Amino acid sequence: MTESLSVGAAADRLRADHAHLLAAVDGLSGPELARDYTTAAGPLGDFCASLHDLVAHVLMWNEINLAVLNDPGHWSLRPEFETVEAGRALNRAGVAAGRELPADLLLDRLAAGHASLLDQLAGYTDEDWRAHVGPLATRVFTVPGRPAFWHAALHLGAVTA
């Protein structure tokens, strides 16, 4: 069973996860971010060949998850998108799209997306979170088989199952 966290604890974990990613990329130039870098594979495999790829991957899922919080009927929750094959395809496509962006734009979008997520979470009462939002948020922010609300830190080996 997926762990249940308060909205405050979920936000704290998202902040810590973001901090792990920022610590890994801090001060690196675009070419340094694009250098070969081995990340820990998730349950769908390993598709990040660099820190640039990892930023793109985390950014894509943060944006999808933010959209889900604003639309619980979001396309990504339809059964045909909740398969291993679709997940792998989305992961590969998100990383490929991120490779087309310069590092400064990618990092800027990561920061903006992270701020939007935290703003979204700050808008929930504890009651709304427990009754409605928390179970959905925990589902979409949990890598299968891993602790909830960690993503970048899992790929960086900073958190284990």
Report, at the CATH architecture level, how domain 7-38+48-155 is classified.
Up-down Bundle (1.20)
Note the helical H segments in the chain.
Answer: 7-25, 30-33, 51-70, 84-99, 103-122, 126-128, 134-140, 152-155
CA-to-CA separations, 82 to 36, 44, 92, 97, 143, in angstroms, rounded:
30, 12, 15, 21, 12
Amino acid 102: pLDDT: 97
Task: Output the tens digit of pLDDT for each of the chain's 161 residues.
Answer: 456 899 999 999 999 999 999 999 999 999 999 999 988 877 666 788 999 999 999 999 999 999 999 998 899 889 999 888 998 898 899 999 999 999 999 999 999 999 999 999 999 999 999 888 988 898 888 888 888 899 899 889 887 65
Domain boundaries, the chain: 7-38+48-155
